[in-house]
Structure 1
């Protein structure tokens, strides 16, 4: 399983990379949705962490794109946005989407792997 991290905040991205790679997983990280969508091809067995508040192509658009792949990966949306913003974004996303609020708990991330 490859772990993809799409997060524009360097500190959050770096912490996720360290945590996930420290558990022996291959990690691919991207600072924005465009780089992710142009530079990778996630598979059905992969896990993708997507920040909902990405600049440019937003996290919700990345999640939509992932859902249209022939073998969609498992997706976890991450966000530090206020609850009202999250509720608006989630209306157009799959009902079974996993959501994690920032700050991310290392134990919760580890449980997903």
Structure 2
């Protein structure tokens, strides 16, 4: 499946690197994801990266991935690594909705 396709449910795992910590990226991501009706989670990594799992209608996930390439004001995304994921990737978030998790 490529970006832009509108076919069913999509689950993706993102790793973002750059200036993505200390700029409100997690709170921004949760707000944007909830506004798009997505479920999943976001957390900081001790490596300095931000990690997220996004799930929902393919078009909404695709739009959120594109938004994540820029992030909130003050962020700089140098690298966005995307992998298709299984529904089991949502388990870390504890269920329905979108969660901000502790740093791992």
- The TM-score, its normalising length taken from structure 2, stands at 0.30
Identify, as 1 or 2, the structure richer in strand: 2
- The TM-score, its normalising length taken from structure 1, stands at 0.28
Greater RCO, 1 or 2 (C-alpha within 8 Å, sep 6+): 2
Identify, as 1 or 2, the structure richer in helix: 1
